[in-house]
Amino acid sequence: MPEHGENHEHPKDGIRLHTTNFQAIGQQLSELLQSGNSFRLKVEPWRERRSLSQNSIQHLWYAEMSRYLIAHGRPFASAEWVKDAMKHTYLGYEETERVDVITGERTVIQTLRHTSRLDTGEMHDYLSRVEGWARSIGCLLTVPDNSEYRELQRKQDE
């Protein structure tokens, strides 16, 4: 078993468990338990992480909102500022632990949630809220017709 901080063989988003790999995963777990250590196992329904298309559209939108806000008297509203403001408003914060490498002191801080940790449904919800806010201030955002966001909108409208 790798020590804390070492590379693990498992993907960061977990392992997709299904009938065809159940026995192999069971074997790996059995080997881990031979050490006598206890482990945390969290089983949840599999959902894909946000897509590249969703990631691309959010950055397009941050730039578009930045241009709009700057043109309307908010010179501080860089794309990075817009990104942080949207995440602050619609995603919130999570606790992150930091360690002082000299003293070993551990401090828990609040950091903005990362969109990279959202699944496609959560990301769609976030993008919908961002688009709604932009529309409410008169900023109409580009939604490419062939984007995954547009596809998910169509499915919700059916």
pLDDT of residue 103: 97
* Cross-strand bridge partners of residue 99: 106
> What domains does the chain contain, in order, with CATH numbers?
52-157 (1.10.3790.10)
pLDDT of residue 5: 40
Number of helices followed by number of strands (H, E) in the chain: 5, 2
- Note down pLDDT in tens along the chain; length 158 residues: 344 443 334 455 567 677 777 777 778 888 888 888 888 777 776 655 555 588 889 999 999 999 999 999 999 999 999 999 999 999 999 999 999 999 999 999 999 999 988 988 899 999 999 999 999 999 999 988 777 787 877 777 77
Q: Can you tell me which residue has the tokens 């966001």?
A: 149
Cα 80 to Cα 87: distance, rounded to the nearest angstrom: 11
Q: Can you tell me which residue has the tokens 């769609």?
A: 124
Q: Which two tokens stand for residue 35?
A: 């050490």
pTM for the whole thing? 0.65
pLDDT of residue 7: 38
* Cross-strand bridge partners of residue 23: none
Helix (H, G, I), strand (E, B) or coil at 83: helix
Cα 96 to Cα 112: distance, rounded to the nearest angstrom: 10
pLDDT of residue 154: 77
**95 burial level (CB within 10 Å; 0-12, 13-18, 19+):** exposed
Q: Between vectors from CA 1 to CA 18 and to CA 6, what angle results, nearest 5°?
A: 100
